[in-house]
């Protein structure tokens, strides 16, 4: 497996489309813009987990747009949709580090979405750029989550602030931000415990973390990234709504995109939260995190 | 968020009320809604397609029962078919072989490690002596996580960090033979079904250890991709069953149907919380209701029956019927409900359409119980019996006396009246045949 990252990403995407490729090739290669075409398109979107509502909306919009622009060819119509989806999801800018203070990034999400691994990968990215990185072991609940992050921190060459399991995560963040200042850290990356968005007390805990961070360093966290597993179905929408209500989400990380799932739920989420997808996770290695490429993603979703 | 399918169908088929038989047109109208509902519940597109065809065949021409509207009749058919597809009967775990080996497999983050421990806790409570095995040598901290959880549950855990997974599993089985542990539960690393090398590893472990159960752990929140992963795992390994995790949220769990359809394997357990005993046997019929957005009244009733004092429950029922429900009862009820578990879980089990909007947003955490208790006990008996008399000066007294603000009290009073309304609804549901489900009949109580 000596593939470069981009190649790996591409093969990942290629695998994702395997099942649909043949049928869709037929679908887009010439032919009328008839109901069958639109129905198939709808099916493709739904199969990609774009969500029923968002899929219907996108296809309806495409119908109108094709009519308006007098498009007659399937390939052309498809391109319009690709552009539409790409435009929806793009717009992630590299967060700017505030002068004299560390950039603070907070990772949130449901259990098993990949927060800890993403925290490590992000740390690695910033380390590659020569930044001083501090990881915060904010998951004090899950057994051995701290150990997991510690191992990653060593691999990434990042500092780590941790406390005893079961301690108040807000206190860990308090410590971490103090330490970050003292040690002239550039980027603070906070891992948090996975929580189902329906657990009120855990969402309150998240609000508290956010408040404490803001108190120690006004204006922080600068990025709150919601980590979404690419296999997630419609529940992703509810996750986005609830997490955003607790802590204003500034961007998404789409993980596990190296499987067969196409992660279309981010389209539906974007429709509600209006935040860009910032990164995609495409493997278990520390380097397997890439900036989101909206165009490639949209193409893979439809192809 | 999601209006129940029943409600939608009710609207779609309103005009058809009172017809004798379901016509093709009725059914097609209804099927459109059913298709959408299933898709919104994340049942795989192709699975939905086949399912809907089956429903159509069965439904057209069917006699509409006198007690039902055409919409209800269609939902009844859908519910029955879904239940049938899901396996009808509860499927038990099989523990044969000496020692019996249970192997867990699944994608990353589906919840294998937590599930392994929950399963062990479950089995040890029914008198077994399970041994947990840390066979995930890839994810940093995985073995440590299993060990910590096993220690918490006071269960043995075998690990040999640095060894290969197959070797660890073999050693564990030998240990189990010596020490009389049974079953041996293997927690394997999460992996992608596309990763041939990793899938081969599982194949080898399976071939060598001949597990009695090879269970796929599936995240209930999985969308369309559930079929791809499940069928690939099944093809490679020959699964014997499925465990569905993270079912304690608001997820509808259509993945359950997809996985069941493509693998044909029964779903044996469902993970329903963060505690190490939060694993329940899987009930196909309840899952069918959940996928259709009809709530999980059966589980709720079962929990209520387990937690409630029967005599008190009978008294309460009387009061509910006569609308004599007071704040004292409310308090007592909250205390009983607390024994049933988390309030949000309980509300999540009610059919969405039946729960008043404000109550859906009701946020009760454990601390608030104490606050409510203080508020109610600071009222006079008169006030508890008739909250209407609580004027502003009484409000100030109660709030001050219990160490709360007037806003806290106001919130409590409005929640109380909401709850009263809900019970009124449940009461009228009961009249419409709510009782049937309590007796385990295939009644069709909702809406």
Distance CA A13, CA A17 (A): 6
Q: Count contacts between A and B (CB, < 8 Å).
A: 150
Q: List, for chain A, all residue ranges whose pLDDT scores fall below the cut of 50.
A: 1-6, 8-10, 12-13, 15-17, 19-20
**Entry pTM:** 0.79
The 10s digit of each residue's pLDDT in B401-416 is 888 889 889 988 888 8
Output the pLDDT for position B144.
94
B297-438 CATH fold: 434 Repressor (Amino-terminal Domain) (1.10.260)
The 10s digit of each residue's pLDDT in A128-146 is 999 999 999 999 999 999 9
Query: Residues of A with CB below 8 A from B138's CB?
Result: 284
- Under an 8 A CB cutoff, do A259 and B194 touch? yes
Residue B141 forms contact with A (CB below 8 Å) = yes
Query: Residues of B with CB below 8 A from A143's CB?
Result: 144-146, 148-149, 152
Taking each helix axis from N to C end, the angle separating A74-89 and A294-302, rounded to the nearest 10 degrees, works out to: 140
Residue intervals in chain B for CATH 1.10.260.30: 297-438
Q: Which residues pair with B132 in a beta bridge?
A: B157, B185
The CATH number of the domain covering residues in A103-293: 3.40.50.300
- Region of B104 (left: φ > 0; alpha: ψ -120 to 50; beta: rest) is beta
Q: Which residue of A147, A199, A233 is in closest CB contact with B42? A: A233
- State whether residue A167 is helix, strand or coil: coil
Distance CA A255, CA A234 (A): 16
First and final C-alpha spacing in chain A = 25
- Which residue, chain included where needed, has tokens 């200042």? A181
- Under an 8 A CB cutoff, do B145 and A142 touch? yes
Query: Residues of B with CB below 8 A from A148's CB?
Result: 139-142, 144-145
Output the pLDDT for position A139.
95
Residue intervals in chain B for CATH 3.40.50.300: 101-291
Output the pLDDT for position B312.
66
Output the pLDDT for position B419.
73
Residue intervals in chain B for CATH 1.20.120.140: 5-86
Q: Strands B267-271 and B279-281: what pairing? A: antiparallel
Query: Residues of B with CB below 8 A from A231's CB?
Result: 107, 219, 222-223, 225-226, 229
- Which residue, chain included where needed, has tokens 């055409």? B70
Q: What is the DSSP letter of A173?
A: H
The 10s digit of each residue's pLDDT in A72-95 is 888 889 899 999 999 988 887 888
The contacts of residue A237 (CB under 8 Å, 6+ apart) are A51, A265, A268, A269, A272
B101-291 CATH fold: Rossmann fold (3.40.50)
Tokens of B256: 């359950």
Cis peptide before B183 (omega within 30 of 0): yes
The chain B residue lying nearest A112, using CA atoms, is: B109
Distance from CA of A91 to the nearest CA of B (A): 26
The chain B residue lying nearest A199, using CA atoms, is: B344
ipTM of the complex as predicted: 0.87
Distance CA B438, CA B447 (A): 16
In the sheet that holds A159-161, the strands lie side by side as: A159-161, A133-138, A187-192, A103-108, A223-229, A251-255, A277-281, A289-291
First and final C-alpha spacing in chain B = 17
Domain ranges for chain A, please list them.
5-89, 103-293
How many DSSP H helices and E strands does chain A contain? 11, 8
The CATH superfamily label for domain B5-86 reads SRP54, nucleotide-binding domain (1.20.120.140)
User: What are the φ/ψ torsions at residue B132 (nearest 5 degrees)?
Assistant: -90, 140
Output the pLDDT for position B439.
32
The chain A residue lying nearest B195, using CA atoms, is: A259
Q: How many CB atoms lie within 10 A of CB A248?
A: 12
pLDDT in tens for each of the 447 residues of chain B? 334 555 666 666 665 555 567 788 878 888 888 898 899 999 999 999 999 998 888 888 887 766 666 777 787 788 888 888 888 778 899 998 889 999 999 999 999 999 999 999 999 999 999 999 999 999 999 999 999 999 999 999 999 999 999 999 999 999 999 999 999 999 999 999 999 999 999 999 999 999 999 999 999 999 999 999 999 999 999 999 999 999 988 888 999 999 999 999 999 999 998 899 999 999 888 888 888 776 555 555 555 555 555 566 667 667 766 667 788 877 877 776 666 666 666 666 655 544 555 554 455 556 677 888 888 889 998 898 888 899 989 999 999 988 888 988 998 888 888 777 776 666 555 544 443 333 333 333 332
The chain B residue lying nearest A239, using CA atoms, is: B250
Half-sphere exposure of A175 (CA within 13 A, CB side): 16
The contacts of residue B359 (CB under 8 Å, 6+ apart) are B347, B415, B418, B419, B422
- Under an 8 A CB cutoff, do B42 and A234 touch? yes
Mutate to test the interface with B, among A39, A235, A253, A269 (most CBs of B within 10 A): A235
Question: CA–CA distance from B233 to each of A156, B167, B254 (Å)?
Answer: 33, 22, 19
The CATH number of the domain covering residues in A5-89: 1.20.120.140
Residue B223 forms contact with A (CB below 8 Å) = yes
């Amino acid at each position: 497996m000596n593939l470069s990252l981009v190649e790996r990403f591409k093969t990942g995407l290629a695998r994702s489309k395997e099942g649909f490729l043949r049928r869709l090739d037929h679908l887009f290669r010439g032919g009328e813009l008839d109901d069958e075409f639109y129905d198939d398109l709808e099916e493709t979107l739904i199969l990609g987990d774009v969500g029923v509502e968002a899929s219907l909306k996108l296809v309806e919009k495409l119908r109108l747009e094709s009519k308006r622009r007098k498009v007659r060819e399937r390939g052309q119509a498809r391109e319009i949709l690709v552009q539409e989806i790409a435009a929806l999801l793009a717009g992630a800018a590299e967060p700017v580090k505030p002068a004299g203070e560390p950039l603070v990034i907070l990772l949130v999400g449901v259990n098993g979405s990949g927060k800890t691994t993403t925290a490590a990968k992000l740390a690695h990215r910033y380390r590659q750029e020569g930044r001083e990185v501090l990881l915060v072991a904010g998951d004090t609940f899950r057994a051995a989550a701290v150990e997991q992050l510690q191992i990653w921190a060593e691999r990434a060459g990042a500092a780590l602030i941790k406390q005893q399991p079961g301690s108040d995560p807000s206190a860990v963040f308090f410590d971490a931000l103090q330490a970050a200042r003292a040690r002239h850290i550039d980027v603070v990356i906070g891992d948090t415990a996975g929580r189902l968005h329906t657990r009120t007390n855990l969402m309150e805990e998240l609000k508290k973390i956010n408040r404490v961070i803001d108190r120690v360093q006004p204006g922080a966290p600068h990025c709150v990234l919601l980590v979404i597993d690419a296999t997630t179905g419609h529940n992703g929408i509810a996750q986005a709504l609830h997490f955003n209500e607790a802590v204003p989400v500034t961007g998404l990380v789409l993980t596990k995109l190296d499987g067969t799932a196409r992660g279309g739920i981010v389209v539906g989420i974007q429709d509600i939260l209006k935040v860009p997808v910032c990164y995609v996770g495409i493997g278990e290695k520390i380097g397997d995190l890439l900036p989101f490429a909206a165009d490639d993603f949209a193409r893979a979703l439809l192809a | 968020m999601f209006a129940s399918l029943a409600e939608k169908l009710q609207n779609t088929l309103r005009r058809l009320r009172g017809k004798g038989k379901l016509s093709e047109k009725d059914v097609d109208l209804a099927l459109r809604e059913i298709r959408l509902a299933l898709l919104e519940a994340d049942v795989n597109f192709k699975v939905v397609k086949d399912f809907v065809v089956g429903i159509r065949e069965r439904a057209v021409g069917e006699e509409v029962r006198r007690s039902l509207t055409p919409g209800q009749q269609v939902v009844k058919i859908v519910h029955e078919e879904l239940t049938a597809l899901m396996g009808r009967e509860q499927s038990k775990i099989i523990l044969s072989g000496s020692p019996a080996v249970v192997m867990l497999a699944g994608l990353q983050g589906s919840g294998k490690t937590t599930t392994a421990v929950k399963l062990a806790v479950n089995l040890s409570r029914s008198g077994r002596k399970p041994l947990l095995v840390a066979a995930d040598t890839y994810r940093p901290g995985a073995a440590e996580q299993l060990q910590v959880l096993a220690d918490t549950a006071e269960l043995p855990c075998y690990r040999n960090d640095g060894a290969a997974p197959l070797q660890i599993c073999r050693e564990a089985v030998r240990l189990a033979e010596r020490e009389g542990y049974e079953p041996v539960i293997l927690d394997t690393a999460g992996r992608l079904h596309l990763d041939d090398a990793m899938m081969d590893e599982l194949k080898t472990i399976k071939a060598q250890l001949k597990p009695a159960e090879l269970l796929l752990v599936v995240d209930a929140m999985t969308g369309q991709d559930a079929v791809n992963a499940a069928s690939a795992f099944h093809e490679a390994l020959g699964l014997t069953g499925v465990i569905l995790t993270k079912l304690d949220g608001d997820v509808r769990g259509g993945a359950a149907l997809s996985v069941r359809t493509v693998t044909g394997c029964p779903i044996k357990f469902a993970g329903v919380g963060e505690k190490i005993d939060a694993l329940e046997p899987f009930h196909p019929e309840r899952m069918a209701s959940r996928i259709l957005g009809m709530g999980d009244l059966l589980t709720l009733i079962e929990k209520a029956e387990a937690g409630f004092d029967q005599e008190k429950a009978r008294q309460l029922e009387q009061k509910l019927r006569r609308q004599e429900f007071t704040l004292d009862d409310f308090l007592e009820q909250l205390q009983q409900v607390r024994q049933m578990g988390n309030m949000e879980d309980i509300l999540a089990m009610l059919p969405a359409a039946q729960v008043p909007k404000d109550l859906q947003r009701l946020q009760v955490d454990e601390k608030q119980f104490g606050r409510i208790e203080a508020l109610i006990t600071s009222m006079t008996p008169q006030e508890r019996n008739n909250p209407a008399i609580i004027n502003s000066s009484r409000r100030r007294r109660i709030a001050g006396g219990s160490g709360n603000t007037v806003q806290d009290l106001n919130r409590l009073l409005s929640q109380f009246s909401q709850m009263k309304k809900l019970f009124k609804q449940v009461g009228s549901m009961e009249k419409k045949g709510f009782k049937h489900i309590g007796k385990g009949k295939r009644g069709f109580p909702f809406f």
